[in-house]
Amino acid sequence: MSDQRGEVTSAINCFYDITARKHAENQLADALATEREVSEFREMFIGMLGHDLRTPLASINLAAAMLLKRGRLDELDTKTVNRIINSDQRMTAMITQLLDLTRARLGGGLPLERAPMDLDALIRRVVDEFDAAVQMKIDGDLTGMWDEGRLSEVISNLVGNAIQYATRGTAVIVSARADRTQVIVEVCNQGDPIPADMLPFIFEPFRRARQREKSAAGNLGLGLYIARQIVLSHGGTLEGSSADGTTTFVMRIPQRPVTGLHATS
Protein backbone atom coordinates (compact mmCIF):
# COMPACT_ATOMS: atom_id res chain seq x y z
CA MET A 1 0.00 0.00 0.00
CA SER A 2 1.09 3.61 -0.59
CA ASP A 3 0.60 6.83 1.40
CA GLN A 4 -0.52 10.19 0.02
CA ARG A 5 2.99 10.93 -1.21
CA GLY A 6 3.10 7.68 -3.17
CA GLU A 7 5.60 6.01 -0.88
CA VAL A 8 5.12 2.31 -0.19
CA THR A 9 4.14 1.78 3.42
CA SER A 10 3.17 -1.89 3.34
CA ALA A 11 2.96 -4.87 1.05
CA ILE A 12 0.96 -8.07 0.82
CA ASN A 13 2.75 -11.29 -0.05
CA CYS A 14 0.67 -13.89 -1.87
CA PHE A 15 1.65 -17.54 -1.91
CA TYR A 16 0.03 -20.21 -4.10
CA ASP A 17 0.28 -23.86 -3.25
CA ILE A 18 1.10 -25.60 -6.57
CA THR A 19 1.64 -29.00 -5.00
CA ALA A 20 -1.65 -30.34 -6.30
CA ARG A 21 -0.99 -29.04 -9.81
CA LYS A 22 2.51 -30.54 -9.91
CA HIS A 23 1.12 -33.83 -8.65
CA ALA A 24 -1.52 -33.80 -11.43
CA GLU A 25 1.14 -33.00 -14.05
CA ASN A 26 3.32 -35.86 -12.83
CA GLN A 27 0.37 -38.24 -12.91
CA LEU A 28 -0.44 -37.19 -16.47
CA ALA A 29 3.18 -37.63 -17.56
CA ASP A 30 3.30 -41.09 -15.99
CA ALA A 31 0.01 -42.07 -17.65
CA LEU A 32 1.23 -40.92 -21.07
CA ALA A 33 4.50 -42.81 -20.65
CA THR A 34 2.63 -45.97 -19.64
CA GLU A 35 0.26 -45.62 -22.59
CA ARG A 36 3.19 -45.18 -24.96
CA GLU A 37 4.94 -48.27 -23.57
CA VAL A 38 1.76 -50.35 -23.86
CA SER A 39 1.21 -49.13 -27.42
CA GLU A 40 4.79 -49.96 -28.45
CA PHE A 41 4.58 -53.38 -26.79
CA ARG A 42 1.28 -54.12 -28.54
CA GLU A 43 2.70 -53.22 -31.94
CA MET A 44 5.91 -55.18 -31.31
CA PHE A 45 3.80 -58.16 -30.25
CA ILE A 46 1.74 -57.92 -33.45
CA GLY A 47 4.94 -57.80 -35.47
CA MET A 48 6.51 -60.81 -33.73
CA LEU A 49 3.30 -62.82 -33.91
CA GLY A 50 2.87 -62.03 -37.59
CA HIS A 51 6.45 -63.03 -38.32
CA ASP A 52 6.09 -66.34 -36.48
CA LEU A 53 2.80 -67.20 -38.21
CA ARG A 54 4.28 -66.91 -41.69
CA THR A 55 6.38 -70.08 -41.30
CA PRO A 56 3.50 -72.54 -40.61
CA LEU A 57 1.40 -70.85 -43.29
CA ALA A 58 4.20 -71.34 -45.81
CA SER A 59 4.33 -75.03 -44.85
CA ILE A 60 0.56 -75.37 -45.35
CA ASN A 61 0.79 -73.75 -48.77
CA LEU A 62 3.71 -75.96 -49.81
CA ALA A 63 1.98 -79.15 -48.66
CA ALA A 64 -1.26 -78.26 -50.45
CA ALA A 65 0.61 -77.38 -53.65
CA MET A 66 2.40 -80.75 -53.54
CA LEU A 67 -0.93 -82.57 -53.25
CA LEU A 68 -2.18 -80.80 -56.37
CA LYS A 69 1.04 -81.46 -58.24
CA ARG A 70 0.81 -85.21 -57.70
CA GLY A 71 -2.52 -85.27 -59.51
CA ARG A 72 -4.02 -88.08 -57.42
CA LEU A 73 -6.98 -86.14 -56.07
CA ASP A 74 -10.55 -86.45 -57.25
CA GLU A 75 -12.57 -83.37 -58.18
CA LEU A 76 -13.96 -82.79 -54.68
CA ASP A 77 -10.55 -83.13 -53.00
CA THR A 78 -9.01 -80.81 -55.59
CA LYS A 79 -11.57 -78.12 -54.77
CA THR A 80 -10.87 -78.59 -51.07
CA VAL A 81 -7.11 -78.23 -51.51
CA ASN A 82 -7.58 -75.15 -53.70
CA ARG A 83 -9.74 -73.67 -50.97
CA ILE A 84 -6.95 -74.32 -48.47
CA ILE A 85 -4.43 -72.55 -50.72
CA ASN A 86 -6.71 -69.56 -51.25
CA SER A 87 -7.33 -69.23 -47.52
CA ASP A 88 -3.61 -69.52 -46.84
CA GLN A 89 -2.89 -66.73 -49.33
CA ARG A 90 -5.49 -64.45 -47.73
CA MET A 91 -4.06 -65.06 -44.27
CA THR A 92 -0.53 -64.44 -45.53
CA ALA A 93 -1.63 -61.14 -47.09
CA MET A 94 -3.22 -60.04 -43.80
CA ILE A 95 -0.10 -60.95 -41.84
CA THR A 96 2.04 -59.02 -44.30
CA GLN A 97 -0.18 -55.98 -43.73
CA LEU A 98 0.19 -56.31 -39.96
CA LEU A 99 3.98 -56.52 -40.30
CA ASP A 100 3.98 -53.41 -42.48
CA LEU A 101 1.80 -51.65 -39.92
CA THR A 102 4.31 -52.48 -37.19
CA ARG A 103 7.28 -51.34 -39.29
CA ALA A 104 5.56 -48.08 -40.16
CA ARG A 105 4.52 -47.30 -36.58
CA LEU A 106 7.76 -48.32 -34.84
CA GLY A 107 10.44 -47.95 -37.50
CA GLY A 108 9.73 -44.50 -38.88
CA GLY A 109 8.78 -45.70 -42.34
CA LEU A 110 8.82 -48.79 -44.53
CA PRO A 111 12.14 -50.16 -45.80
CA LEU A 112 12.66 -49.76 -49.54
CA GLU A 113 14.81 -51.51 -52.12
CA ARG A 114 15.29 -48.87 -54.79
CA ALA A 115 16.34 -49.65 -58.34
CA PRO A 116 15.91 -47.97 -61.73
CA MET A 117 12.43 -48.75 -63.09
CA ASP A 118 9.73 -47.53 -65.45
CA LEU A 119 6.44 -46.67 -63.75
CA ASP A 120 4.69 -46.75 -67.13
CA ALA A 121 5.43 -50.47 -67.51
CA LEU A 122 4.44 -51.16 -63.90
CA ILE A 123 1.07 -49.42 -64.26
CA ARG A 124 0.27 -51.30 -67.47
CA ARG A 125 1.21 -54.62 -65.88
CA VAL A 126 -0.96 -54.00 -62.80
CA VAL A 127 -3.94 -52.85 -64.88
CA ASP A 128 -3.66 -55.94 -67.08
CA GLU A 129 -4.14 -58.10 -63.98
CA PHE A 130 -7.66 -56.73 -63.51
CA ASP A 131 -10.45 -57.96 -65.75
CA ALA A 132 -12.18 -54.58 -65.89
CA ALA A 133 -12.63 -51.50 -68.04
CA VAL A 134 -9.67 -49.24 -67.30
CA GLN A 135 -8.59 -46.30 -69.43
CA MET A 136 -4.93 -45.28 -69.24
CA LYS A 137 -3.44 -41.89 -70.03
CA ILE A 138 0.35 -42.01 -69.86
CA ASP A 139 2.55 -39.05 -70.76
CA GLY A 140 6.24 -38.26 -70.40
CA ASP A 141 9.27 -39.98 -68.92
CA LEU A 142 8.08 -42.07 -65.96
CA THR A 143 11.42 -43.60 -65.01
CA GLY A 144 12.88 -43.22 -61.56
CA MET A 145 14.61 -44.82 -58.59
CA TRP A 146 11.86 -46.61 -56.73
CA ASP A 147 10.96 -49.87 -55.01
CA GLU A 148 9.05 -51.67 -57.75
CA GLY A 149 7.38 -54.20 -55.47
CA ARG A 150 6.18 -51.54 -53.07
CA LEU A 151 4.83 -49.23 -55.77
CA SER A 152 3.08 -52.23 -57.30
CA GLU A 153 1.22 -52.58 -53.97
CA VAL A 154 0.16 -48.93 -54.13
CA ILE A 155 -1.07 -48.99 -57.73
CA SER A 156 -2.81 -52.34 -57.25
CA ASN A 157 -4.60 -51.07 -54.14
CA LEU A 158 -5.77 -47.84 -55.76
CA VAL A 159 -6.88 -49.44 -59.02
CA GLY A 160 -8.53 -52.37 -57.23
CA ASN A 161 -10.52 -50.05 -54.96
CA ALA A 162 -11.53 -47.86 -57.90
CA ILE A 163 -12.80 -50.89 -59.83
CA GLN A 164 -14.63 -52.32 -56.82
CA TYR A 165 -16.57 -49.12 -56.12
CA ALA A 166 -17.09 -47.88 -59.68
CA THR A 167 -20.62 -47.68 -61.03
CA ARG A 168 -21.35 -50.61 -63.34
CA GLY A 169 -20.70 -49.71 -66.96
CA THR A 170 -18.25 -46.89 -66.20
CA ALA A 171 -14.51 -47.01 -66.75
CA VAL A 172 -11.80 -46.37 -64.20
CA ILE A 173 -9.28 -43.80 -65.43
CA VAL A 174 -5.60 -44.13 -64.56
CA SER A 175 -3.39 -41.26 -65.67
CA ALA A 176 0.31 -40.67 -65.10
CA ARG A 177 2.56 -37.84 -66.18
CA ALA A 178 5.98 -36.45 -65.49
CA ASP A 179 6.12 -33.03 -63.83
CA ARG A 180 9.67 -31.65 -63.54
CA THR A 181 11.37 -33.95 -61.00
CA GLN A 182 8.32 -35.92 -59.95
CA VAL A 183 5.67 -38.21 -61.36
CA ILE A 184 1.97 -37.69 -60.72
CA VAL A 185 -0.42 -40.66 -60.86
CA GLU A 186 -4.19 -40.21 -60.63
CA VAL A 187 -6.77 -42.98 -60.25
CA CYS A 188 -10.35 -41.86 -60.79
CA ASN A 189 -13.73 -43.62 -60.81
CA GLN A 190 -17.41 -42.75 -61.05
CA GLY A 191 -19.65 -44.05 -58.29
CA ASP A 192 -21.01 -43.42 -54.83
CA PRO A 193 -18.71 -40.90 -53.15
CA ILE A 194 -16.83 -41.63 -49.97
CA PRO A 195 -18.97 -40.21 -47.11
CA ALA A 196 -17.77 -36.75 -46.14
CA ASP A 197 -17.44 -37.74 -42.47
CA MET A 198 -15.16 -40.66 -43.43
CA LEU A 199 -12.94 -38.87 -45.95
CA PRO A 200 -10.54 -37.34 -43.39
CA PHE A 201 -9.86 -40.78 -41.91
CA ILE A 202 -9.47 -43.07 -44.94
CA PHE A 203 -5.68 -43.27 -44.55
CA GLU A 204 -5.84 -44.28 -40.90
CA PRO A 205 -5.18 -47.95 -40.00
CA PHE A 206 -8.16 -50.29 -39.69
CA ARG A 207 -10.41 -47.76 -41.43
CA ARG A 208 -12.43 -48.37 -44.58
CA ALA A 209 -14.05 -45.75 -46.75
CA ARG A 210 -17.31 -47.61 -46.23
CA GLN A 211 -17.18 -48.98 -42.70
CA ARG A 212 -20.27 -51.18 -42.96
CA GLU A 213 -18.97 -53.16 -45.92
CA LYS A 214 -17.03 -56.28 -45.06
CA SER A 215 -14.08 -57.05 -47.29
CA ALA A 216 -14.67 -60.15 -49.41
CA ALA A 217 -10.93 -60.78 -49.48
CA GLY A 218 -10.58 -60.54 -45.70
CA ASN A 219 -8.64 -57.28 -45.77
CA LEU A 220 -8.05 -55.56 -42.44
CA GLY A 221 -8.62 -52.00 -43.55
CA LEU A 222 -4.88 -51.35 -43.83
CA GLY A 223 -4.60 -51.04 -47.61
CA LEU A 224 -4.75 -47.26 -47.92
CA TYR A 225 -2.73 -46.75 -44.75
CA ILE A 226 0.10 -48.93 -46.06
CA ALA A 227 -0.16 -47.40 -49.53
CA ARG A 228 0.35 -43.95 -48.07
CA GLN A 229 3.25 -45.13 -45.90
CA ILE A 230 4.94 -46.56 -49.00
CA VAL A 231 4.54 -43.26 -50.84
CA LEU A 232 5.74 -41.27 -47.83
CA SER A 233 8.80 -43.52 -47.57
CA HIS A 234 9.57 -42.57 -51.18
CA GLY A 235 9.33 -38.89 -50.23
CA GLY A 236 5.98 -38.41 -51.94
CA THR A 237 2.35 -37.74 -51.05
CA LEU A 238 -0.92 -39.63 -51.49
CA GLU A 239 -4.23 -37.79 -51.24
CA GLY A 240 -7.87 -38.62 -51.90
CA SER A 241 -10.94 -36.58 -52.76
CA SER A 242 -14.54 -37.54 -53.39
CA ALA A 243 -17.46 -35.37 -54.51
CA ASP A 244 -20.24 -35.18 -57.11
CA GLY A 245 -20.01 -38.89 -57.91
CA THR A 246 -16.27 -38.84 -58.62
CA THR A 247 -13.52 -40.24 -56.39
CA THR A 248 -9.87 -39.48 -57.18
CA PHE A 249 -6.63 -40.55 -55.55
CA VAL A 250 -3.48 -38.64 -56.46
CA MET A 251 0.06 -39.90 -55.86
CA ARG A 252 3.02 -37.54 -56.26
CA ILE A 253 6.41 -39.15 -56.04
CA PRO A 254 9.92 -37.77 -56.72
CA GLN A 255 11.90 -39.56 -59.41
CA ARG A 256 15.06 -39.57 -57.32
CA PRO A 257 15.58 -40.35 -53.60
CA VAL A 258 15.05 -37.51 -51.16
CA THR A 259 17.97 -37.04 -48.76
CA GLY A 260 17.30 -38.30 -45.25
CA LEU A 261 14.58 -40.82 -46.08
CA HIS A 262 14.76 -44.49 -45.15
CA ALA A 263 15.58 -45.85 -48.60
CA THR A 264 17.13 -49.26 -48.08
CA SER A 265 16.14 -52.47 -46.36
Find out if CATH 3.50.50.60 is the number for domain 115-254: no
> Mean pLDDT in runs of 10 for the chain (265 residues)?
61 65 75 67 63 78 88 89 85 75 69 92 93 92 94 94 93 95 96 90 76 52 88 95 94 84 45
User: Angle 147-151-82 (CA atoms, 0-180°, nearest 5)?
Assistant: 110
Find out if CATH 3.40.190.10 is the number for domain 19-107: no
Q: How far apart are CA 235 and CA 261, in angstroms?
A: 7
Quickly list H helices, 71-132. 75-107, 119-128
Do domains 19-107 and 115-254 share one topology? The answer is no
Q: What is the reported pLDDT for 26? A: 75
At 30, the amino acid letter reads D
pTM given for the model: 0.66
Domain boundaries, the chain: 19-107, 115-254
Q: How far apart are CA 64 and CA 239, in angstroms?
A: 41
